[in-house]
């Protein structure tokens, strides 16, 4: 008689065997329409900022910050492209990590910082690109999530269920994160909490030892677990940071990392994920 595999091992083997998703087909409520119009590209002077935000480079953003600083403070910000561009690139990477148009939202972040200069300087006693770096998560909470608050009317259950039934568990994890997927498996696939924890632990350790695509996938899973918060208090694996300490060790220095979930209103309808 053939020996039956442990359900944890079987689950992990099935998920790990799935290809790493190259581009998600699932809904991302934070994405905006980024279609570009065809236009004639003209040469510009060294500090001239392009009309189309989509054409801005990190140097253009530094020049934009310089201009706004001058108009807001009637002073001159000493530009150092070698270091300032690094900070701008970090802002852009944060936006990309949240699947946002990096140029559009980096500009919005800079504008938001100038609108909240008193709040920032009260906390940091300075107003520089380096000081602004520490307010990316505040911006995400106050502006990005509020701008997409209408997504709370979205019922994502059918999409998650259909994707998992069609072998896209990795994709769902990379879009919606650990608590949502764990709650679905425990409540609707009748897999025990302990087996889910053991299975995910094996999966994460495997991904940490994988190639660049697998490490990128793991990055998305962890980041989405944070950015999709807050969750209902009776969701599963809300303590995933404690359950999988290797994830905190790996990603704690990322700009998007938070030791606690976001607070406020739910982003989606979650009632169908819970047991009736």
pLDDT for the residue numbered 96 = 84
Pairwise CA distance, residues 54 & 89, whole Å: 14
Pairwise CA distance, residues 142 & 133, whole Å: 15
Segment 149-159 shows an average pLDDT of 74
pTM over 0.95: no
Ordered by start, the domain boundaries in the chain are 53-147, 151-273
Copy the structure tokens of residue 95: 């936006």
The answer to whether residue 1 scores a pLDDT higher than 60 is no
Q: What is the pLDDT of residues 60-118, one digit of tens each?
A: 999 999 999 999 998 899 999 999 999 999 999 888 877 789 999 999 999 999 999 99
pLDDT for the residue numbered 85 = 95
In angstroms, the Cα distances linking 115 to 60, 88, 108, 109, 139 are: 20, 18, 10, 10, 11
pLDDT for the residue numbered 33 = 46
Strand partners, 269: 155
Pairwise CA distance, residues 246 & 225, whole Å: 15
Q: What is the pLDDT of residues 225-261, one digit of tens each?
A: 998 888 999 999 999 999 999 999 999 998 889 999 9
Neighbours of 120 (CB within 10 A): 21
């Amino acid at each position: 008689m053939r020996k039956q595999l442990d359900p944890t091992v079987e689950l992990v083997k099935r998920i790990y065997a799935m290809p790493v998703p190259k581009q998600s087909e699932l809904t991302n409520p934070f994405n905006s329409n980024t279609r570009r119009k065809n236009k004639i590209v003209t040469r510009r002077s060294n500090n001239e900022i392009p009309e189309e935000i989509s054409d801005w480079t990190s140097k253009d953003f530094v020049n934009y910050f310089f201009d706004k600083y001058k108009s807001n403070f009637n002073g001159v910000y000493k530009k150092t492209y070698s270091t300032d561009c690094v900070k701008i690139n970090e802002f852009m990477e944060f936006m990309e990590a949240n699947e946002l148009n990096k140029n559009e939202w980096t500009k919005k972040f800079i504008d938001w910082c100038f609108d909240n200069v008193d709040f920032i300087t009260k906390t940091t006693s300075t107003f520089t690109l380096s000081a602004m770096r520490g307010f990316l998560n505040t911006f995400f909470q106050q502006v990005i999530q509020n701008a997409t608050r209408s997504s709370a009317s979205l019922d994502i259950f059918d999409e998650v269920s259909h994707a998992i039934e069609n072998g896209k568990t990795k994709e769902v994890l990379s879009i919606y994160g650990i608590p949502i997927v764990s709650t679905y498996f425990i409540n609707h696939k009748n897999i025990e909490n302990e087996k889910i924890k053991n299975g995910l632990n094996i999966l994460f350790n495997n991904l940490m030892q994988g190639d660049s695509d697998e490490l990128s996938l793991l990055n998305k899973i962890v980041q989405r677990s944070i950015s999709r918060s807050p969750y209902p208090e009776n969701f599963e694996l809300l303590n995933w940071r404690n359950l999988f300490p290797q994830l905190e060790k790996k990603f704690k220095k990322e700009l998007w990392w938070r030791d606690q979930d976001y607070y406020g209103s739910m982003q989606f309808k979650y009632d169908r994920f819970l047991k009736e």
